[in-house]
Amino acid sequence: MSATLGEAAPRRRASTLGVAVVGGGMVGAAAALALARAGFSVALLEARAPTPWRADAEVDLRVVGLAPSSIALLDEMGVWTSIREARASAYRHMHVWDAASGAAIDFDAAAEGRDMLGCIVENSLVQWTLWQALETAGVRRLCPAEVTAFESRDDRIQLQLTDGATLSAAVLVAADGAASPLRQLAGIGTRGRDYAQRAVVAHVNTERAHEETAWQRFLPGGPLALLPLADGRSSIVWSLPEAEAQRVLALDDRRFCDELGAASDFRLGRITGTTPRAAFPLKLQLAQGYQAERLVLLGDAAHAVHPLAGQGVNLGLRDVAELRDTLVEARAAGRDIGAEHVLRRYARRRRSADTLDALGFDALARVYAWQSPPLVAARAIGVRLLDRLAPLKRRLSDHAAGL
């Protein structure tokens, strides 16, 4: 499947390489770097360069909980030490509880023989560190650059750029976000649902220390997470129905802190201060396919999930690792890395895994939306039983860690 190049477009000599990655966010930049480190010739196309990250700037409101599998991938690419030393906060415990019943489940890194469950890191820090590493890895950074059309040929896919230039590669990687123009040009549809919710985010000061713990409380309107930051504050992700989110955003700081304290059951004491808030819409979206001719999707272009499990970026980085390994194996066997059967292997594996995870998160959101007393009671029994079943709880933890 291809989007045909317009004959009227200005022509320049096509530049040829192994992989063209479109999208310079965390997942796209990681894909470009991982493939370059694996010895492929790579170009990264991005419409806007990221804002330089600065240690003296306020902590980015958008943070990610990196799982051990993601940390391992970043370490393989030679960037994790820089990220960790700049500003990262390990979390070693997780406490999840139900506002309706009080039923809770706890995860502890030491009990599982690990140093930590994961790390809370600013999105902008990860993206900027990857962006800087691309140049030293030999990645051609084309920015600003946008793809207006592409055409698949026998051994190449040719891209038309907005400035009239053309670019030719064996594989085109679409990492251009949930709205993915490349996915639309390829004719790949999506399915899912709008949660009619927004995630309100802020960084807050609390009366008590966060104890290197990720706290999550399931409320009738949606989950509230308090994530530990390196400076001692907590980053909140509060999922709320649209109208309620708008109301909360409009509160003055004192009222917001009071309501947030009550919503968190004052687990960290009173909320004593807050940054300005922001919010983003929540939806479940799954691409109906992960490949077209010489094209693959990864990251949000392939899947957008509810943030309740904090796994969105981790799923994208697992896409990156799978794509890298698939292309390396194909090259070692002397195969065309953009051949349909090669890309189909990546697509089949990751679409299956991503779909299971995404639908699992969606089911969890639905289960915690139950408010009738019999269903709340049944949910509480299930949670308490799970907390006592160490082998099953360990398997859940291993899955979240990407192990």
pLDDT in tens, 131-160: 999 989 999 999 999 999 999 988 899 999
Does 90 map to a domain?
Answer: yes
Does 10 map to a domain?
Answer: no
Listing from the earlier edge strand, what are the strands of the sheet with 88-91?
63-66, 118-122, 88-91
**What's the pLDDT score for residue 37?**
97
Does 293 map to a domain?
Answer: yes
- Residues 168, 291 contacting (CB under 8 angstroms): no
| Cα atoms found within 13 Å of the Cα of residue 258, Cβ hemisphere only | 5
Q: What percent of the residues of the chain are helix, what percent strand, and what percent coil, each to the nearest 5?
A: 40, 30, 30
Residues 117-126: pLDDT tens digits? 999 999 999 9
Average pLDDT of 378-401? 78
- Report the DSSP pairing between strands 15-22 and 42-45: parallel
- Residues 229, 263 contacting (CB under 8 angstroms): no
Those residues whose C-beta lies under 8 Å from the C-beta of residue 375, and which sit 6 or more positions away, are none
Q: Torsion-angle region of residue 94: left (phi > 0), alpha (psi -120 to 50) or beta?
A: beta
Closest Cα to residue 3, out of 151, 144, 205, 191? 151
Q: Which domain holds residue 199?
A: 17-51+60-401
Q: Label residue 85 exposed, middle or buried (CB < 10 Å: 0-12, 13-18, 19+).
A: exposed
pLDDT at 10 over 60: no
CATH number reported for the structural domain that contains residue 23 in this entry: 3.50.50.60
Does 204 map to a domain?
Answer: yes
Alpha-carbon distance of 305 to 355, in angstroms, equals 10
Does 67 map to a domain?
Answer: yes
Helix (H, G, I), strand (E, B) or coil at 302: coil
Q: Label residue 7 exposed, middle or buried (CB < 10 Å: 0-12, 13-18, 19+).
A: exposed
Residues 269-299: pLDDT tens digits? 999 999 999 999 999 999 999 999 999 999 9
Place of tokens 């708008």: 246
**What's the pLDDT score for residue 13?**
41
pLDDT at 9 over 90: no
Straight-line distance from the first to the last Cα atom of the chain, in angstroms, rounded to the nearest whole number: 35
Label residue 307 by pLDDT band (50, 70, 90).
confident
**What's the pLDDT score for residue 190?**
97
- Measure CA 87 to chain center: 19
Does 187 map to a domain?
Answer: yes
Label residue 233 by pLDDT band (50, 70, 90).
very high
Alpha-carbon distance of 98 to 390, in angstroms, equals 20
Does 7 map to a domain?
Answer: no
Domains: count for the chain: 1
Residues 58-76: pLDDT tens digits? 999 999 999 999 999 999 9
Does 378 map to a domain?
Answer: yes
Residues 318-366: pLDDT tens digits? 999 999 999 999 999 999 999 999 999 999 999 999 898 888 888 888 8
Alpha-carbon distance of 264 to 224, in angstroms, equals 7
**What's the pLDDT score for residue 123?**
95
What is the pTM (predicted TM-score) of this model?
Answer: 0.91
In this structure, what token pair is assigned to residue 302?
A: 């392939």
Alpha-carbon distance of 21 to 38, in angstroms, equals 15
**What's the pLDDT score for residue 284?**
93
Residues 167-210: pLDDT tens digits? 999 999 999 999 999 999 999 999 999 999 999 999 999 999 99
- Residues 228, 119 contacting (CB under 8 angstroms): no
Distances (CA, A) of 287 to 12, 128, 179, 185, 189: 33, 27, 11, 13, 6
Label residue 309 by pLDDT band (50, 70, 90).
low
308 vs 216 pLDDT, higher one: 216
Alpha-carbon distance of 168 to 37, in angstroms, equals 20
Alpha-carbon distance of 237 to 222, in angstroms, equals 10
Average pLDDT of 288-316? 91
Neighbours of 382 (CB within 10 A): 13
- Residues 320, 326 contacting (CB under 8 angstroms): no
Distances (CA, A) of 207 to 268, 272, 392: 6, 7, 35
Q: Label residue 55 exposed, middle or buried (CB < 10 Å: 0-12, 13-18, 19+).
A: exposed
What are the helix (H) ranges across 24-122? 26-37, 68-76, 80-87
Dihedral of CA atoms 361, 305, 26, 159 in degrees, nearest 10, equals 140
